[in-house]
Structure 1
């Protein structure tokens, strides 16, 4: 009738198109009346008694017949929403109709009633579509929302917001969201699987708790009505300090099936989330993030325990399933979301049956995906939804079900197997029907996974190191490497061998060896720190598979120094180093003027130690002296200086014994003997030297001959010294000339001879040159005379002579 009235309004004077439309409308109305089916449309929220349709006219009934024959309207359900006006024959509303209350879940709301004409015994079906009007504004379940964010949250992070709900439909329902209030945040709207809009709060700018601890935002939801209706919610964002562990649900999705007669107050499902943090940051609370109005009235979530319980009775006809989104958040701003799907089922009294027709007991771990491991047959004696059987596998197993034909299923591998992770499976195949409550049964498939050699040995450490004291015994254990293989049997048997290498030109295998079965590394020879500081080698581990797999690891063996080398005196040279002679000869003669002041340098004892570290730290002590208190020795420098000025009563020749000790345990030492000649003048010096030479000469040698040789020696020394000064002057001039042509060289020690550096445990100590030496050979006894020129303090013009007599 409504389409017919619409076409009548479009009909105008003349025009074949309008006439044709009228003809079709008349034919359609006649067809609908003939079949006893009337359809009308009326907006919701119309007042009681509002016109719906002209029933009498559409059915061709006379008004008199309506009053005489008795016409009444019967609606489905307890409430009668329509009635027939006896005087006009119009179908009118008997109650105010709220589309959102009647058809909460349906997109198209149609109310059905029956018009009974008792006199004719006729029944006419009437369908009235209730159209939506924009009588509901979008609304949020909570108008005050709170979000907690860490100040370390990276820009771009998204946070789901509560969705607004508008019970209207079509254009009058929720259409858009807007966010205002702060530049730190923006709004993103994602489309859900059902076409719904899901707002998300997007962090656009990094947060700073010290700058602002709170941010106030306004979220506005608008529908598409005319005029549009809006709903708002205030969002308070609290900025928190960093929290590094978020709660984690035990399952990403919780699925529960409950019968519709479950008692009120029953716990349907418990969601569980754990947080690795301690204290407030580790205390987890639960909340419903996304829930419809209907679900919020039916289910209750315990914020502390995560129990989802029933608030009111379930009705399968009103809702067959519910989906909730649960959020777990800790004391900070971190959270995790999980879905909870609750399915309401009808009551059922027959359980499905499952039988295993064929199954494998063993399968290789390299079996390709899609391999069939079992053939199952399922059946249920029920019919309809209660007999619809669903088959599934329990747990996260690498298998899946494929329907073969009719009621047969195949269990096939879904991915490659790994025996090292799971060596055997108890696959539970579960079947459930669609009854209410659902009944189910299960069968367990036992499957053992056979091993293949797909894992190489893995060492317990990325690299090994050991410290071995030098002078070790041959065959001493250095360390033990260990590798494991995740395979089984022969594939997991590990053997060790040494990698190729050379040390100081010799094969590495001559220094160390590795035990093939245990991985124990042994030293084959006594190691010497002064020759080899460390050994770097590779140990290979190989399994027994075919083909064999292997891996290697680096091993560093550090040789630890021991105090096995005594100090070696470089100056003065020991008597044995100067030549063979009588044991009573002096090893060296140092010259010093008698007018020397306290602290004047006389000589320097130089010694080195081949050890390292503390074992090479040297100290000097004056063990014996002809005149105690006249000389002293520097503890660490080895310099022999005057402790006081020489006196006239002091002997002209002084004998000093210096002991050089290292700091090892036990300490080793060496001695150096110095002879110092005190002289007032050159003549006195020559007399002392002559006397020393006479004592050192062999019996029967004339003293005059020795004196002549000494005079010649002094003359030769003077000539050599003069030549040295001329050579030094020439070198200075040449160096000055080169500096004029070339830029100055950098480095304070450039040009210093390498011989002036002595290495002690990696540290080069610079030894200052104290003298310029020349030597003469006096006779066949190879008496050596050295002339020393010292530049110390105020004695720059004094030339002292050093004489070493080798017997």
Structure 2
């Protein structure tokens, strides 16, 4: 054992000497080896002994070992065979990702003497990964207007293999509309492009599902698939279509306000905004707009105000459906108002005689007319009086009736009659009107006086007969008139008089003279005598008859539009009635129009939506202006304010109705001018001409003719690797000149690796890029992220985000101990190699720079050797007797901020060498022994000290005193018991045992020895 220890010490000293003289070196030529990934543990890589031309015994004697740069034990060296073997399965993708070639650097380290050899292990790829699409579904939006040959770049598949085992081709199925074209990227990868070779039609097929297959070049090849969903985006290539060109509906005139009338329905084969329809009335009169309303979304037509059959019996309404792109279609709605019996008959009394003489037969009592505003049976009337009365009703002209006495009356029998004229219509329910007349019977002298008694005795009384006065001439005239009536003398003059007056003429204006039209048989004096009057069909008092002159005078200002609306000519029918005898003259008053109304647009603000893709020459019909005047006084022309895009032309729809049409003259561009206003002016033909205006707001509807554009083609950002998850990395922003859905952008990554998808995420709306997982500078230092903005029409813009990961000092230095020698013999030569170790720090820059140190009060030194390898050597010879153990702390501190430090403590024992002789505590000892003692009597003790330990303290007595403690670590003092071997007569003693100063016995007792101790005395 002593010889082996000395030899080891000599080797260490030689090694230290070799290192310090600079003879330790790395191998000049690197060793190169190769192995396929995924090989099992223990697979043979190379025979290092043979490659390095070393004997097997040298590998073992020089403590050869393999150290990898990453500190992992991927390989091990069999010292018995010299073979380099795999210590674990190697995964090329895990070790090197896509880096090619994949090289694992390691060193072969020899200790005796210290020497380093550099080596490389190339890990070759096998086809152990299938191509994989990060997204299981790829969504592509393509407008149906896309032309054949249009290409669409798609996401590529990921294949962790390299070389021929990586992606080599793409295919698509089915191929009815598309085929695949392969594009080579600047990064050496291939990307699939979808190429359109057959036109799309959203209305025929709004979605297509394809399967994209990626194939690698392995043998056999491996593949991966993803689903490609093609959404065919609609364009406005279909106009709305109504279910019917004409809708007809009948509505009772008593229908409550708000009642649903009918729902018109149109459909548009387009979708989205282009398929959203807006229903409106088109060219609707003021009456229509006041009476009906249409729900712009549902097409429901509801009643807005009360209907009146007696005013308007039907409405013809034009309805249009406009889609979101400005295309429109029209239909007609005919609403027939059904009459209900809501008007009772009316009795208009022209003249009445309240007192008639008795004994006059067939006397005219009353002249009246009846009317009912209802139509059909609701307007047919039956006129009657009580059956038990001596009166008759006689129809005369139109709805005029006369009430005459049937026979001579007898006042003495009945003085008064209550006559009820009852007019009942034939509607359901029947409505009835009653008019009461009280007729007094006047007395005539048709009875001689008679006495109530045959004789009277009267004292001083005078009897005088009082006579009833005669009714006179009036009663006689009535009788004559009555006779005239019943004898057929009532005359309706066959000729109709025609008069004319301009509307708005002043009250009192003379329109004509009836005497001139009546002829010579009626004079001015007859007008008053015969009770002449004017009666209009509607019983209004538009005119009055001057009985002194026979002139017809305006009794009020006439408004042609209020009287007749748009009806032309405007005729008021009336009769001139002469009562005595009864005679009717028919007449007409034509009310002439004056230009007293200006053209008026019912909608002062018109909205016109036109797609910017509309071709020049397209016309757009606008609502016409309303003008209550007629003839030349109504609207004759339209003009528009000067503009760069439109001119106006007139469209004559018949019935003297002219509509303005805007004609597109120059193409629109929403991005230059999204909307503008045009003033439409309507002019009538009056003198002077009058006009009205409306404002047309032209809204240019966008088409997807602009792709998104990013603010910058390249975004550069630095992100500390310590940034927490969800930290904002950068916010990208793109703009699209289009509007609506075509201007709505969605942000996404494009052609990204799995690392990027696992590390970052982008908000599709805001464009904020945030961390999805923690960064690690030591793994990946930078990312190149392709980002795209896609608008609602599938046009996209691209940009690049260059993310530079900023290293932070998040990795403490590491110490890997290669070898350690303990114990170290004392008195060994200076700069003996005690330990060999390497250090590393995965950070970079100052964060990865390291300072290695130990405590200065230790007799050791640190020496840098090869790369980051260090040796720990003795500074001077050690002395076990001074210090037998050292705790050495190796401190490695980086230069980062904050500085990180790693400490590794090794315990080093100092082994003893025989460099100290034993010594007694005294130069002489005197021991006294009583006589006659038995053997083994303890005589006394002597003390000796030996600073050495172990075998270095052993030897034959008296040259050496035996140190039996066996510790060999500290200097020891011993007391030896001296005992009498025989009797006191002899001088034979023995040392029985050694006892330490703390009275602990040694492990072994000495054998008996016959030893004479000089200077011992006894009695």
- The two structures share one fold, judged by TM-score above 0.5: no
TM (norm. structure 2) is: 0.30
When normalised by structure 1's length, the TM-score is 0.38
Give the number of the structure whose alpha-carbon radius of gyration is greater.
Answer: 2
